[in-house]
Amino acid sequence: MKKISEFVSEIEESVTLSASKRARALKNEGIDIIDLTLGQPDFQTPKAIGDAAITAIKDGRASFYTQATGLPELKKAIADYFRRYYGYVPAPDEILATSGAKFALYAYFLALIDSGDEVLIPAPYWVSYVEQVKMAGGVPAIVRTSEAGHFKVSVDQLEAARTDKTRILVLNSPSNPTGIIYTRAELTALGNWAVAHDIEILADDIYHQLVYNGATFTPLSSLGAAIRAKTTVIGGVSKTYSMTGWRIGLAVGSPEIISAMGKIASQTTSNPTSVSQYAAIQAFRTADVDIEPFRAAFEERLNTIYPLLATISGFEVVKPDGAFYFFVNVRKAMRLTGFTDVTAFSDALLEKAHVAVVTGAGFGSSEHIRLSYATDLESLKKAIGRIKKFIESN
Ligand code: PMP
Ligand code: GLU
């Protein structure tokens, strides 16, 4: 047996990726699995974006290292994208392009956390925050939110969790896994609280263009100079432009933090893949019209599947306003089927109903499962039928 570092031994594998790996393995064995695990749009990247990458290769622009923090043209495209969606234009030293948003998050935590620093993470949370904070030597301080409060964290809850070690507050709106979106008033209160206590804010806005049924996204970083100075925005092309495989993320924040993150990138990834940067320039600049059909398709799936979920005995869901997940409370369904552990319940859905979902355990819940609706409507309807049958026959 090889000795593996204590550092790695203490990290959990991403539950979203491991659930998807299991589903894929069963599919490869010939089993007809409906895979609702991954938060990955099921559309091809818009053609204009792929064409921009091909042209960059053909023109000989993609062969070499680029600036560690991203091509100047990409930073310009990101600045313009911020003008359109955030109402302000970040300077080049406030922008970092990264190898996926996931790496941007990790570089952020590494840049800010000293050993023992605490990071406030409202639960349910996206799986990687907790592990990445630990990987950076920090201590995740989980703040539970309730379904009754629409999974939103309040200033009072944060104040109760604050200590003299609190360094960062993580906010993710629209949220993975719940799909909730904070209002302007809520964000203003949270932002002012963080400013008052000298706490940095990480705003993971990666789903900000994926909002439905008239819901609106408010960028926290646009709520005044004081809040903006404390906020680092994380985003990227994966979800909105259907570009998960291209691996381009972004960070926009104060020059000190962006420069520290850039230093980490220079010693690890060197630069985000050149060809993907050319694709991302096209995405940020002009692809907005190409992606409206994606958003509209997610909205149709949400509105079609949400009422069907309510017909499954023991399934309860807060209707999401954004992202592309249902975070279903299955406490009653578990009781009906004799399960006490939500991961065992998810495993049974995979093995018996042949529907792959993600256990809530990785998101900080012992009574939820996550279903991604970044899958075609027919498969989603079929999955609902299978889950229903499984619960009724148990
Ligand atoms: N943040 C959230 C909330 C996500 O759901 C994801 C999806 N993987 C990411 C960040 C990372 O995105 P990517 O690394 O694909 O850019
Ligand atoms: N963020 C996506 C999800 O939650 C992709 C998987 C991952 O990066 O963990 O499913």
Average pLDDT (293-317) is: 97
Domain borders along the chain are 6-44+289-392, 47-287
Of the two residues 7 and 252, the one the predictor is more confident about is 252
Structure tokens at 354: 């042949």
pTM of the full structure = 0.97
pLDDT tens-digit readout, 74-99: 999 999 999 999 999 999 999 999 99
Name the residue at shortest CA distance from atom 3 of ligand 2. Answer: 39
Any idea which ligand is nearest the CA of 280?
1
Please check whether the two domains, 6-44+289-392 and 47-287, share a CATH topology: no
Asked if the model's pLDDT at residue 287 lies above 80, the reply is no
Name the residue at shortest CA distance from atom 9 of ligand 2. Answer: 16
Q: Residue 66's pLDDT is what?
A: 97
Q: Is the CB of 238 under 6 A from ligand 2?
A: no
Average pLDDT (312-323) is: 97
Closest among 151, 222, 142, 217 to 188, alpha carbons compared:
222
Residues 206 and 101: beta-carbon distance below 8 Å: yes
Mutate to test the pocket of ligand 1, among 96, 99, 206, 241 (most ligand atoms within 8 A of CB): 206
Instruction: Tell me which CATH code domain 6-44+289-392 carries.
Output: 3.90.1150.10
Q: Is the CB of 132 under 6 A from ligand 2?
A: no
Mutate to test the pocket of ligand 2, among 20, 40, 131 (most ligand atoms within 8 A of CB): 40
Task: CATH number for 47-287: choose from 1.10.1040.10, 3.40.640.10, 3.40.50.261, 3.10.180.10.
Answer: 3.40.640.10
Name the residue at shortest CA distance from atom 12 of ligand 1. Answer: 101
Q: Residue 290's pLDDT is what?
A: 85
DSSP-derived secondary structure for 26-60: HHHTT---EE-------SPPPHHHHHHHHHHHHTT
Q: Residue 10's pLDDT is what?
A: 87
Any idea which ligand is nearest the CA of 171?
1
* Rounded distance from Cα 312 to ligand 2 centre (Å): 26
Q: Is the CB of 66 under 6 A from ligand 2?
A: no
Q: Residue 200's pLDDT is what?
A: 98
CA distance 247 to 266: 17
Backbone angles phi, psi at 208, to 5 degrees: -65, -25
Q: Residue 318's pLDDT is what?
A: 95
Mutate to test the pocket of ligand 1, among 15, 38, 102 (most ligand atoms within 8 A of CB): 102
Residues 66 and 271: beta-carbon distance below 8 Å: yes
Backbone angles phi, psi at 242, to 5 degrees: 55, 60
pLDDT tens-digit readout, 192-243: 999 999 999 999 999 999 999 999 999 999 999 999 999 999 999 999 999 9
* Rounded distance from Cα 3 to ligand 1 centre (Å): 31
DSSP-derived secondary structure for 143-209: EE--TTTTT---HHHHHHH--TTEEEEEEESS-TTT-----HHHHHHHHHHHHHTT-EEEEE-TTTT
Average pLDDT of the chain, as a whole number: 97
Ligand 1 binding pocket (C-beta < 6 A) is 39, 100-102, 126, 172, 176, 204, 206, 236, 238, 244, 249
Structure tokens at 35: 């895979």
Asked if the model's pLDDT at residue 43 lies above 90, the reply is yes
Query: What are 322's strand-pairing partners?
Result: 211
pLDDT tens-digit readout, 16-39: 999 999 999 999 999 999 999 999
Q: Is the CB of 100 under 6 A from ligand 2?
A: no
Residues 276 and 249: beta-carbon distance below 8 Å: no
pLDDT tens-digit readout, 96-131: 999 999 999 999 999 999 999 999 999 999 999 999
* Rounded distance from Cα 179 to ligand 1 centre (Å): 14
Closest among 198, 222, 217 to 206, alpha carbons compared:
217
* Rounded distance from Cα 88 to ligand 2 centre (Å): 29
Residues 221 and 228: beta-carbon distance below 8 Å: yes
Q: Residue 56's pLDDT is what?
A: 98
Within 8 A by CB and 6+ apart from 383, the residues are 34, 36, 355, 371, 375
Residues 206 and 200: beta-carbon distance below 8 Å: no
* Rounded distance from Cα 354 to ligand 2 centre (Å): 21
